[in-house]
Amino acid sequence: MSEQHEGGTHDVVDPSTGVAFTTVEMAGTAAVDAAVERAAAAFPAWRDVAPADRARLLRRVAAAVDADLDHLADLEVREAGHPTANARWEAGNLRDVLEYSAAAVERHLGDQIPVAGGIDVTFHEPLGVVGVITPWNFPMPIAGWSVGPALAAGNTVVLKPAELTPLTSLRFAELAREAGLPEGVLQVLPGRGDVAGQRLVEHPAVRKLVFTGSTAVGRGVMAGAARHVKRVTLELGGKSANIVFADSDLERAAATAPDGVFDNAGQDCCARSRILVQRSVHDRFLELLEPAVKGVRVADPRSPDAQMGPLISAAQRERVAGFLTEESLGASAEVAFTGTAPEGAGFWFRPTVVLAPDPRVRVATEEVFGPVVTVTPFDDEADAVRIANDSRYGLSGSIWTRDLGRALRVSRAVEAGNLSVNSHSSVRYGTPFGGVKESGLGRELGPHALDAFTDVKNVFISTT
Ligand code: NDP
């Protein structure tokens, strides 16, 4: 069997119709090995490109992404079912991260440390070949968050996109080559996780892994990386709390709560999928939330006013539905109301609000990764923090209050990597992003993004 065909093929399906529209070849282990070899061979020359030239090349790649933005967005709409406006934002985010990373190349400063008998300086040395494994929920941005800073720091990259969504990453690699990125510096290899992904984890020449996906697989990636003491960055699951205090702007908190959880049909690791509401305003909040949820426009992602598209696959729809059976909800939790969704072909699911007075029920503790949110009352600040932190995850969260002191106290007390006060913002390319507890390890983005793709080397020069 040839290297190209040993991983079989995969039919890419449009989630809004359920119909396959193209077929992609999957890399097997031999193809991964060959790509890693090419990446390792390309590394010394890429590392030695003068910083200003490396920055210029990355800016060219960003410009190529920008020129292809509509096309990239169309691919994302087709393979992931994202509304067009969201997909355009995602392609723009890829461009922006590349530009931001390009600007960091010439500012990745080392230290000069006072010591006796000489001078001491540090260098940020690139690691070599970086393996990047991305999920299907935000294929373009998540690829960019690793590829931009990894290349900027002088590494070469082999990227394995999720089987379900390989097209935008393949196009990105094509654009990068056309923009002048040398051969072998960025390679994209669609393939199955347990074949191509696993091989990246095991390959001794891959010096760092960036994995985004489920906590279960992330745990295996970390264990596999341990064998060669590979560096890892893990962006895993979440079950984030949206804490609404009685002193907040309740109208705004309720009106925006759907954005905080139903964006990308809830298939978002930062989804605020647990709304915790102070008991004194619980019923009023629900009254305000109902029209907001019913107003979410779930529609064909190509329609200009669509706010939410379908789920990614039939399997994901089944998984999400599994959280709402009588057996799964148990005696205390119940569906309060739902929004609407198209009928018929496509993996549609209605935005769904579940009352969960007991915060320990399954739907309120496990990552649903669909448009399902629970609402749980709390008594006071300490109770809110206790419930928010009673989770194995710690990725993001929101705090709604008009009391600045409380906003700061609760921001410090909630165990999560990314919090927003009176908003649901999580990811900006200029600020660090990542989780605590089982939501992950390490940070992406922000002013220190390149540090995650380098090791610090210390050099002492004697002056005696
Ligand atoms: P996975 O964790 O299985 O997939 C994420 C990526 O890892 C994909 O590229 C996948 O490949 C790859 N992968 C799978 N197995 C291995 C392996 N053994 N070694 C190396 N790479 C591997 O997530 P799923 O797509 O199965 O989604 C399941 C659930 O995970 C979701 O319902 C959600 O709860 C959670 N999830 C969370 C995400 C987040 O951002 N926090 C993102 C995606 C999922 P491939 O799929 O091509 O086989």
Catalytic hit among 235, 367, 438, 444: 235
Q: Which ligand 1 atom is the nearest neighbour of the CA of 269?
A: 41
Number of neighbouring beta carbons within 10 Å of residue 66: 17
Q: Give me ligand 1 centre to Cα 112, in Å.
A: 42
| Residue 9 C-alpha from the chain's centroid | 25
pLDDT band at 311 (very low <50, low <70, confident <90, very high): very high
| Distances from the Cα of 80 to the Cα of 205, 219, 251, 327, angstroms | 32, 25, 32, 31
Active site residue 287: no
Q: Which atom of ligand 1 is nearest to the CA of 224?
A: 19
The predicted-structure confidence for 198-216, as pLDDT tens digits, reads as follows 999 999 999 999 999 999 9
Task: Give the pLDDT of residue 175.
Answer: 98
Give per-residue pLDDT as tens, 214-268. 999 999 999 999 999 999 999 999 999 999 999 999 999 999 999 999 999 999 9
| Distance spanning both ends of the chain, measured CA to CA | 63
pLDDT of residue 361: 97
Question: If DSSP codes are grouped into helix, strand and coil, which group holds residue 167?
Answer: helix
Three-class DSSP category at 440: strand
Sheet holding 372-378, edge to edge: 334-338, 352-355, 372-378, 274-278, 241-244, 396-400, 418-421
pLDDT at 445: 98
| CA 267 to chain centroid | 10
Confidence at residue 6, expressed as pLDDT on a 0 to 100 scale: 77
pLDDT at 346 over 90: yes
In 3D space, the residue among 224, 240, 204 whose CA is nearest the CA of residue 417 turns out to be 240
Q: What is the CATH number of domain 241-427?
A: 3.40.309.10
Which of 136, 198, 200, 214 for a ligand 1 pocket mutation test, highest count of atoms within 8 Å of Cβ?
A: 214
Nearest residue to 453 via CA among 234, 225, 210, 222: 210
Mean pLDDT of the chain: 97
Give me the mean pLDDT over the 336-363 stretch.
97
Confidence of residue 426 (pLDDT cuts 50, 70, 90): confident
For the chain, residues classed under CATH 3.40.605.10 are: 9-236+438-462
DSSP label at residue 183: T
Looking at the CA of residue 237, tell me the nearest atom of ligand 1: 41
Identify which of 212, 137, 231 has the alpha carbon closest to the alpha carbon of residue 440: 212
Question: Residue 144: its pLDDT value, please?
Answer: 98
Residue to substitute in 138, 209, 217 for testing ligand 1 pocket (most ligand atoms within 8 angstroms of CB): 217
The pTM assigned to this predicted structure is 0.97
Does residue 2 register a pLDDT over 90?
no
Sequence ranges of the chain with CATH classification 3.40.309.10: 241-427
Strand partners, 440: 235
What is the reported pLDDT for 3?
53
- Ligand 1 centre distance from Cα of residue 135 (Å): 6
Residue range 9-236+438-462 forms a domain whose CATH class is alpha beta
Asked whether the predicted pLDDT for residue 295 surpasses 90, the reply is yes
Expressed in angstroms and rounded, the spacing between residue 262 Cα and the centre of ligand 1 is 20
- Would you say residue 141 has pLDDT above 90? yes
Residue 5 pLDDT greater than 80, yes or no: no
Tokens of 136: 């299907």
When pLDDT is cut at 50, 70 and 90, the band that residue 9 belongs to is very high
Q: Give the relative orientation of helices 84-105 and 51-67 as an angle to the nearest 10 degrees.
A: 170
Q: Provide, rounded to the nearest whole percent, the portion of the chain with pLDDT above 70.
A: 99
* Higher-confidence position of 54 and 344: 54
Output the pLDDT for position 335. 98
Find the mean pLDDT for residues 178-182.
98
Give the pLDDT confidence score for residue 1 in this predicted structure: 42
